[in-house]
Amino acid sequence: MQYRKIYPYNPKLKELARQLRNHSTLSEVLLWNQLKNKRIMGYDFHRQKPILNYILDFFCHELELAIEIDGCSHDFEEAYKKDKSRQEEIERLGIVFLRFDDLQVKKNMAGVLQTIEGWIKEHTPNPSQEGILKSTPLKRGIMKMRFKYEL
C-alpha cells in the first residue's frame, strides 16, 4: 500500500487560504475552471494550498506539481527574489513548479493547458502501462523557467 506524502504547513494559513479562494483573481478563476474536477488528464488539483509558510495557487499532490500565476506585482526585482526563494524552499520537498504570467492565462489558455499537459506527459509513466502507474516514481524535472507565449 502506497501512502500519500504529507507536506508540512502552517495551520495559521488555512483561513487565509480560504479567503484567497473566495477572492480569486480573474486568471486564477479561469485556470481553476480548467483544472477542477480532474479535467486535466484525470489529475486532482487543489487551489490555494498551504505548504510550509506559503500558499500555492494550485497544487496536484499526485504529481507533486505546483502551478503559480504571476501578476504584474511579480515583475519587480524584490518580488522576483522573494518568489525565487519561496520556490526553492518548496522545491526541497520534491515539488516542481510551473509558472505562468497573468496575461498568458487570460489570452492564451490553450497554450497554458498545452504546457501543463506536456509536462504531465513528460514526467509520468506511459498511460498504456496503467498497471505500474501507482508504483512507478515520477521523473523529476526542474521547471524554473517562465513559459512565454506570443500574445
- What is the chain's pLDDT, residue by residue, as a tens digit (151 residues)? 567 899 999 999 999 999 999 999 999 999 999 999 999 999 999 999 999 999 999 999 999 999 999 987 656 778 888 889 999 999 999 999 999 999 999 999 999 999 999 999 999 986 544 443 333 334 444 343 344 433 3
**Per-residue 3-state assignment (H helix, E strand, C coil) for the chain:** CCCCCCCCECCCHHHHHHHHHHCCCHHHHHHHHHHHHHCECCECEEEEEEEECEEEEEEECCCCEEEEEECHHHHCHHHHHHHHHHHHHHHCCCCEEEEEEHHHHHHCHHHHHHHHHHHHHHHCCCHHHHHHCCCCCCCCCCCCCECCCCC
Question: Could you tell me the domains of the chain?
Answer: 13-132 (3.40.960.10)
| pLDDT value of position 127 | 53
| Cβ within 8 Å of residue 106, ≥6 positions away | 26, 27, 30
CB distance 91 to 136 below 8 Å: no
Rounded to whole angstroms, the Cα distance separating 83 from 61 reads: 21
Q: What is the pTM of this model?
A: 0.80
| pLDDT value of position 75 | 60
| pLDDT value of position 146 | 43
What's at 8, amino acid-wise?
A: P
